[in-house]
């Protein structure tokens, strides 16, 4: 079954902010990040269960999976797999307070 990818608004903002941040220091690295993030999102859609599952108290995050952006391993893609979609919930840097950020999801 082929699922559709849905990049939720917060994840879309995350990616845009990361591109802007990386490009301030190194435009080439920002381009590589864009390519790596796009490639991993496509790969996640094809193989959605490859990411490790995480347990969070928020019931909306039941089954949340995580996978790093290759070459930018500190950036982590958080996603949920449904029967018809892969929902990209957030893309966060590992140094951030991930539990706190994800606890705010309603």
With cut-offs at 50, 70 and 90, classify the pLDDT of residue 106.
Answer: low
Quickly list H helices, the chain: 9-25, 27-46, 98-103
CATH topology of domain 4-103: YaeB-like fold (3.30.2310)
What confidence tens digit (pLDDT) does each residue in 49-80 have?
Answer: 999 998 877 788 889 999 999 999 999 999 99
The string of pLDDT tens digits covering residues 33-42 is: 999 999 999 9
Cα–Cα dist 22/19, whole Å:
5
pTM over 0.75: yes
Whether 99 contacts 55, CB under 8 Å: no
Q: Decide which of 106 and 3 is more confident.
A: 3
Domain ranges of the chain: 4-103
């Amino acid at each position: 079954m082929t699922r559709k990818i849905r990049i939720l608004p917060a994840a879309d903002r995350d990616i845009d902010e990361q591109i802007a941040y990386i490009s301030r220091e190194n435009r080439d690295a920002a381009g590589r990040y864009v390519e790596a993030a796009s490639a991993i999102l496509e790969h996640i859609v094809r193989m959605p269960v490859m990411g490790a599952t995480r347990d969070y108290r928020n019931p909306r995050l039941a089954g949340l999976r995580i996978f790093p952006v290759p070459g930018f391993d500190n950036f982590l893609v958080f996603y949920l797999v449904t029967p018809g979609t892969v929902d990209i919930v957030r893309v966060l840097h590992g140094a951030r307070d991930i539990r706190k950020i994800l606890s705010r999801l309603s």
